[in-house]
Amino acid sequence: MKVSATEEHGLRCLMRLAIAWKAGESVTIPEVARCEGMSPPYAAKLVAMLRRADLVRSVRGVKGGVGLSRAPESITLTQAMSALAGSPVRTGPCMGPEGVRCDRQGTCGLRGVWDRVTTVVTGVLDGVTLADLVANGRSEAGGGDSRSGVAAPARWSSEPRA
């Protein structure tokens, strides 16, 4: 399974919003972009895709920005990847949209394999939430991603910054 750059970066945006959710805050798109090492227009594009899928909402006011539309524990990777790519699993051309039949379906054994792959991968993705990603991948739950060297805004951390 290949994860597109759009999916990877969109998931990183969602993880950043999950960290903000845990802190009870919203975050601006430029903050997400800076923390995740992407341009603000690209972050805005990803957030718009996630907003259309009702995973992200706009927050008005002085402390406005964007935030998750519901708790990170209730957003699965299947939902997130579907919002970003249309389908969480893309295995081959014969696995097109519902109702589309491959003209080789009667003589090709691939469809059954792709069906099983889709079922297994979707099952795994359904079992992982944004909360799981934050807990497993960003143990500081409010700090930056240590792999990228990008720190979160100081207001996300309870520890004083040097």
Least confident of 5-14, 84-93, 95-104: 95-104
User: Does any domain span residue 89?
Assistant: yes
User: Does any domain span residue 161?
Assistant: no
Residue 130 clears pLDDT 50, i.e. is over it: yes
Structure confidence by residue, pLDDT tens digits, 33-83 = 999 999 999 999 999 999 999 999 998 877 789 999 999 999 999 999 999
Domain residues for 147?
Answer: 5-155
**CATH code assigned at 60:** 1.10.10.10
Identity of residue 71: A
pTM equals 0.76
- Give the pLDDT of residue 7: 92
- Give the pLDDT of residue 16: 95
Number of folded domains that form the chain:
1
- Give the pLDDT of residue 155: 35
Residue 106 clears pLDDT 80, i.e. is over it: no
Contact 88, 122 (CB under 8 A): yes
Strands 56-59 and 65-68: antiparallel
What is the token pair recorded at 157? 């951390």
State the SS3 of 123-154: HHHHCCEHHHHHHHHCCCCCCCECCCCECCCH
